[in-house]
């Protein structure tokens, strides 16, 4: 079974731009969560989607948004990028039976 995939793996953007990251969960998983990892703040929860609905949201500004499609793939968007948005963005998918969350390799975003 293929794992969680994230694209792109690396991104370089400049302040003020926007960015879209993509996540494909493990086949059969309907829940997708997003996390941000920075050296200063560590791993922080952004949001979770289940069956195309946002089920949970962390404490991030409205510039961070996401969505989930009918095939469970998810995207997250960050608008008006700031230097502090430079981070590793991790996506996790969860199965319904055992509740384990499996993470993808991440997208490393650098904002210049």
Partner 1 sequence: SQQGEEDPQALSIQEGENATMNCSYKTSINNLQWYRQNSGRGLVHLILIRSNEREKHSGRLRVTLDTSKKSSSLLITASRAADTASYFCAPEYGNKLVFGAGTILRVKS
User: Does residue 88 bind partner 1 (CB under 8 A)?
Assistant: yes
Dist. CA 18–CA 85, nearest whole Å: 11
For residue 105, the cross-strand partners are none
20 vs 101 by CB, closer to partner 1: 101
Closest distance to partner 1 from the beta carbon of 97 (Å): 11
Footprint (CB under 8 A) of partner 1, residues 17-56 = 31, 33, 35, 37, 42-45, 48, 50, 55-56
Token representation of residue 13 = 């953007």
- Report the first-to-last Cα separation within the chain, whole angstroms: 37
Q: Strands 53-57 and 5-7: what pairing?
A: unpaired
Q: Strands 10-13 and 107-111: what pairing?
A: parallel
User: Does residue 60 bind partner 1 (CB under 8 A)?
Assistant: no
Q: Which residues bind partner 1 (CB under 8 A)?
A: 4, 31, 33, 35, 37, 42-45, 48, 50, 55-56, 58, 88, 90, 92, 94, 98-106, 108
């Amino acid at each position: 079974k293929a794992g969680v995939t994230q694209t792109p793996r690396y991104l370089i953007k400049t302040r003020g731009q926007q960015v879209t990251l993509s996540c494909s969960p493990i086949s059969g998983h309907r829940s997708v969560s997003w996390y941000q990892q920075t050296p200063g703040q560590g791993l922080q929860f952004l949001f979770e989607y289940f069956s195309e609905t946002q089920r949970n949201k962390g404490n991030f500004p409205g510039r961070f948004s996401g969505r989930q499609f009918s095939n469970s793939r998810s995207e997250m968007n960050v608008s008006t990028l700031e230097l502090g948005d430079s981070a590793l963005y991790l996506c996790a998918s969860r199965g319904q039976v055992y509740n384990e969350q499996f993470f993808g390799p991440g997208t490393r975003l650098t904002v210049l």
